Structure 1
Amino acid sequence: MSDILDARMLAEVFVTLFVIMDPPGTVPIFLGLTGAMTGRQRNRAARQAILVAFGVIVSFALFGQQLLSYMHISLPALQASGGLLLLLVAMELLTGKMESSAQPSGATGVNVALVPLGTPLLAGPGAIVATMVFVQRAENVADWVAIALGIVGVHVCLWLSMRFANVIHRVLKDSGTILISRIAGLLLAAIAVQLVADAVRAFIQAG
């Protein structure tokens, strides 16, 4: 079995990405970003966000190091840019602009399932960097299988958490969802500041 699947690597990949991508923690942010959507639209947004996040993670796992090296981009720079983008989204959640921009009549606007939900919220700098580190550690087929299963498993958990967000929305109603979106905005702002702070610390240490 160890020749086909490295169980220890699988557990490490799954736990690490689960903690970073935080499926339970995405529920309030998902509700805040999709508060003005119908149940069907919210389900579609969940599928799109998962597909985008999965595509980004897999792409960076396979080609991330080569891409960053070619463009002379460091991992701290990627982390800082993701943090700044999340900070902008957090401000929109806190001020209520996200709800107005997510109205059905504003269908020509940005699809929140792609940005910021799919990336950089789900497939953010932390998840991308962690995946690239695991790929660099892979030495055989068993390691690659473990990494692949770990990534798939976390994305299944993410989909389940957002799929049942409709149930939470029915319980909270619109007023409760607005309250959750404000709390989510505060939490997201803290995550964004931490990403930028970590990036600055990495820049200083590298210098």
Structure 2
Amino acid sequence: MFDLKFFGEVFVTLFVIMDPPGTIPLFLSLTSGRTQRVRKRMALQAVLVAFGVIVVFALFGQSILAYLGISLPALQAAGGLLLLLVALELLTGKEDEPTVDKDVNVALVPLGTPLLAGPGAIVATIVFVRRVSELGEVLALAAGIVAVHVVLWLTMRFSVVIIRVIRESGVTLITRISGLLLSAIAVQMVADAVRAFIVQG
């Protein structure tokens, strides 16, 4: 039987971690200068990439990390460093000259991962998988993951409407602010990873 309570727990947890509303300024910043059609395509690509990453780690996450000898703190630190590089580009304005290759890369990295399917979402998914013991919980977990990604897609898909209101000058302002916030998030991720390493040690 479908476990509605477990579904709610999975959905709320992943919603808070992946933060669909918070992706709007970052999405607009990273896709600055693109056409609306390209932004829509990139929104779908990013969500599909994030969904694929989460599904892979839900199915094989524990085995992958164990095989490669990677700890969860190490994964978190790597994600934080990658986000820090992205934040520096946003702050310095290097993202203002998009290319065809970059269009593809932004949808995959950093939008798809680690911004959406980051260490936090991956770790949470692995933890939920460990708790699954019956079919109802499996269905609830799958439904929760799908539901969060649908919300993510809708959020980014309709963020295109926002661009019509704030124009490119507004996106530039949001870009700088997003870069500052993203750098803080990245540093916090690295700090949490270091703290976890110390505790394990």
Q: Determine the structure 1 residue equivalent to 2:31.
A: 34
Task: State the aligned residue count.
Answer: 200
1:177 counterpart = 2:174: no
Q: Name the aligned partner's letter for residue 12 of structure 2.
A: V
Deviation at 1:154, TM superposition (A): 0.5
Q: Determine the structure 2 residue equivalent to 1:142.
A: 136
Q: Find the residue that maps to 2:101 and give its secondary structure.
A: coil
Unaligned runs of 5+ in 1: none
Q: Determine the structure 2 residue equivalent to 1:11.
A: 8
Counting only pairs closer than 5 Å after superposition, residues 51-200 of structure 1 correspond to structure 2 as 51-100=48-97, 102=98, 106-109=99-102, 111-200=105-194
**Matched residues in 1 for 2:100 and 2:151: separation?**
28
Q: Deviations over 1:9-63 (max 9, x none)?
A: 1011000000000000000000000011000000000000000000000000000
Q: Deviations over 1:40-98 (max 9, x none)?
A: 00000000000000000000000010000000000000000000000000000111011
Q: Deviations over 1:137-165 (max 9, x none)?
A: 00101111111011011101100110111
Deviation at 1:169, TM superposition (A): 0.6
Q: Name the aligned partner's letter for residue 126 of structure 1.
A: G
Q: Determine the structure 1 residue equivalent to 2:40.
A: 43
After TM superposition, which residue ranges in structure 1, 4 or more long, deviate above 6 angstroms? none
**Matched residues in 1 for 2:8 and 2:165: separation?**
34
The alignment-based identity, stated in percent, is 68
**Matched residues in 2 for 1:146 and 1:74: separation?**
27
Q: Name the aligned partner's letter for residue 108 of structure 1.
A: D
RMSD of the TM alignment (CA)? Answer: 0.8
Unaligned runs of 5+ in 2: none
